[in-house]
Amino acid sequence: MDSKDYQIIGTLMRDGRLSNQDLAAQVNLSPSPCLRRVRLLEEAGVITGYTALVDQKALGFPITVFVGIKLSRHDKVTVQGFESAIGAIDEIIDCFLMTGEIDYLLRVVARDLDGYEHFVREKLHAIEGIASIDTSLAYGVVKQGHSLPLTPRP
């Protein structure tokens, strides 16, 4: 990747709806080479998709909860079963494998506290191998980013 690729990626992270014509103009390329670079970035897995950013509150999910999960065992069956179950639950927006005291950190959205309680009782408790669940409610957002810091590699 060169500096022009980074420029394309940075521009698309700010506005993924740009037409190829507009993108090319913003990164000072003609449309054909710009499109070719975008397609190469997609094929290489650097650009993995395009999505709309939505306001979770506007869609009825004002509650954000961070959930620390500790597994009772770390054998292959328990880990694969947990990860498979987590992948099928829509309220879980992100799941991170962690070092330290907890094994996983989940970012969960809920319509209200009753909805979160239902999520824990009906969905999390149904997953085999969970030893503990630690919940932290977020009551505000200071910064929420969607773009990566871009500096070309040396």
Domain holding 27: CATH number?
1.10.10.10
Q: What is the pLDDT of residues 50-103, one digit of tens each?
A: 999 999 999 999 999 999 999 999 999 999 999 999 999 999 999 999 999 999
The whole domain housing 34 covers: 3-43
Which of these, 16, 3, 1, 11, lies nearest to 46 by C-alpha position? 1
Which secondary-structure segment (H or E) carries 73? none
> Residue 106 has which token pair?
């989940």
Q: Are 51 and 99 in contact (CB under 8 A)?
A: no
Q: How many domains does the chain have?
A: 2
What does pTM read for this prediction? 0.86
Whether 131 and 82 map to the same domain: the answer is yes
Whether 109 and 80 map to the same domain: the answer is yes
